[in-house]
């Protein structure tokens, strides 16, 4: 039978990188690929207590339908956390989502017609590109440095991109680079957005995982014109399986996002919303995060120190102040995808995410994203060591991984 699918499905393609990473399911492989939090840090006892109480005492309402925007108790807890982070909002300004990933889809659905332009960091979050793709956008990627998106180049892009509809940024410990947008550039980005009357989509799933340095204000807290859509998530702070995220935006924007969510899924899980609200009421999420952050810092330090000891001198990597990732830069003639397929996986038994797929337009083969979060530290150090020895000890491996495409 011949199926006549919509044209947009042609924009959503399986990634060759995903196919490579399926090999990471092999328990003999050390995978730095997924952006998963450390499962040993999940607050299992507290969550068990919360769900037991909710089902026992509130089961008939917690298993029922509820409002699309989310239950009031959870929206109020999110309002409180946003207020303590400098954002002046009410519970009415909060839309509960099936993880922040749903927010990426809803915003693109709200704003993008085929051929409209999304301005992104370069590189940017692969999951965002997957979410945006069905709406057939074009992209205007803006290069980054150690201080985040280049706002001088952003100014030029805004002046020369009439169909730009929104700027998508991850200001804190960006995925994939781990870089944080500087305070000066946060102010400049919003100044340019105001000047060009463009919406800013701020994605902050890693914000509360800062383990060194000064916490910088969210773009939403600096927003004076109601143009920032702020996406937050409990996936990296509580547990991803709960699937709780949220959007905070002006009433005009939020009302329309709520309508789109109603059409997509009616509502997020009443049970999970009720449990999350109770967790935030009965337990101290900030205390939990205080215990989590040093673990991630120790893992980052272990990964980077092992890279420093074992990787060739011409391989560079970022030093994030939080989050889950470091971004590795190989020499320009190196193909990280080919090297992983032909050497890293079969010989070192190590997987990572080759970096080309994070670029919206022109892919660059000589980058890779490494996550230090989910692999336990001893295994992580051993895996980085094996990879480092392979990179330094095999001239044939490096020569055969010069820029080329996978067959």
Give φ, ψ of 287 to 5 degrees.
Answer: -65, -40
Six-digit token string for 230: 């702020």
Distances from the Cα of 201 to the Cα of 17, 57, 139, angstroms: 26, 38, 14
The answer to whether residue 311 scores a pLDDT higher than 70 is yes
Tell me the pLDDT tens digit for each residue of 52-102. Answer: 999 999 999 999 999 999 999 999 999 999 999 999 999 999 999 999 999
Question: Do 372 and 326 touch, CB atoms closer than 8 A?
Answer: yes
pLDDT digits 0-9 by tens, 242-274: 999 999 999 999 999 999 999 999 999 999 999
Kindly state the percentage of the chain with pLDDT values over 70: 93
What pLDDT, on the 0 to 100 scale, is given for residue 405? 38
Q: How many angstroms from the chain centroid is the CA of residue 101? A: 8
DSSP secondary structure code for residue 31 in this structure: E
pLDDT in the model for residue 9: 78
Number of other residues whose CB lies within 10 A of the CB of residue 25:
9
As given in the structure block, the two tokens for residue 239 are 């547990």
In angstroms, how far is the first alpha carbon of the chain from the final one? 31
> For residue 407, what pLDDT is reported?
30
CA 66, chain centre distance (Å): 28
Within a 13 Å sphere around the CA of 384, how many CA atoms are in the beta-carbon half?
27
Q: What is the DSSP string of 207-252?
A: GGGB-SSPPPPPHHHH-SSS-EEEEEESTTTT-GGG--EEEE--HH
Instruction: Assess contact for 171 and 124: CB atoms under 8 A.
Output: no
Q: What is the pLDDT of residues 119-178, one digit of tens each?
A: 999 999 999 999 999 999 999 999 999 999 999 999 999 999 999 999 999 999 999 999
Band (pLDDT 50/70/90 cuts) for residue 20 is low
Q: Where residue 110 falls among pLDDT bands split at 50, 70, 90?
A: very high
Q: What is the DSSP string of 357-390?
A: GG-SSS--TTEEEEE-SSS-HHHHHHHHHHHHHH
What pTM, to 2 d.p., does this model score? 0.94
Both structure tokens of 63:
């298993």
Residues with Cβ within 8 Å of residue 210, at least 6 apart in sequence = 172, 173, 293, 321, 322
């Amino acid at each position: 039978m011949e199926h006549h699918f919509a044209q947009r499905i042609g924009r959503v393609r399986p990634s060759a990188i995903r196919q490579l990473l399926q090999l990471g399911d092999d328990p003999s492989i050390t995978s730095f690929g997924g952006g998963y939090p450390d499962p040993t840090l999940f607050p299992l006892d507290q969550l068990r207590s919360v769900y037991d109480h909710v089902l026992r005492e509130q089961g008939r309402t917690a298993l029922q339908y509820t409002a699309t925007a989310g239950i009031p108790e959870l929206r109020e807890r999110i309002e409180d956390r946003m207020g303590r982070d400098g954002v002046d909002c009410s519970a009415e300004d909060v839309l509960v989502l099936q993880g922040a990933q749903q927010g990426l889809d809803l915003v693109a659905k709200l704003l993008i017609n085929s051929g409209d332009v999304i301005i992104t960091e370069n590189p940017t979050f692969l999951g965002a590109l997957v979410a945006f793709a069905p709406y057939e956008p074009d992209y205007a990627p803006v290069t980054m440095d150690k201080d985040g998106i280049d706002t001088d180049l952003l100014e030029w892009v805004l002046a020369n991109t009439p169909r730009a509809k929104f700027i998508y940024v991850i200001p804190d410990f960006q995925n994939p680079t781990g870089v944080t947008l500087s305070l000066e550039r946060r102010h400049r980005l919003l100044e340019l957005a105001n000047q060009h009357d463009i919406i800013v989509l701020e994605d902050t799933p890693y914000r509360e995982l800062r383990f060194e340095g000064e916490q910088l204000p969210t773009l939403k807290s600096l927003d004076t014109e109601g143009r920032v859509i702020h996406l937050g998530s409990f996936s990296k702070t509580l547990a991803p399986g709960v699937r709780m995220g949220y959007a905070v935006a002006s009433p005009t924007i939020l009302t329309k996002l709520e309508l789109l969510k109603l059409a997509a899924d009616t509502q997020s899980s009443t049970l999970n919303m009720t449990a999350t609200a109770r967790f935030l009421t009965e337990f101290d999420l900030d205390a939990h995060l205080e215990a989590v952050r040093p673990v991630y810092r120790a893992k980052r330090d272990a990964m980077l120190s092992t890279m420093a000891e074992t990787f060739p001198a011409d391989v560079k990597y970022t030093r994030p102040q939080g989050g889950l990732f470091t971004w590795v830069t190989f020499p320009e003639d190196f193909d990280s995808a080919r090297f992983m397929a032909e050497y890293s996986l079969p010989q070192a038994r190590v997987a990572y995410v080759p970096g080309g797929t994070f670029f919206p337009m022109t892919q660059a083969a000589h980058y890779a994203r490494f996550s230090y979060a989910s692999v336990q530290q001893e295994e992580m150090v051993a895996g980085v060591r094996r990879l480092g020895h392979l990179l330094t000890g095999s001239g044939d491996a490096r020569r055969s991984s010069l820029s080329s495409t996978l067959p």
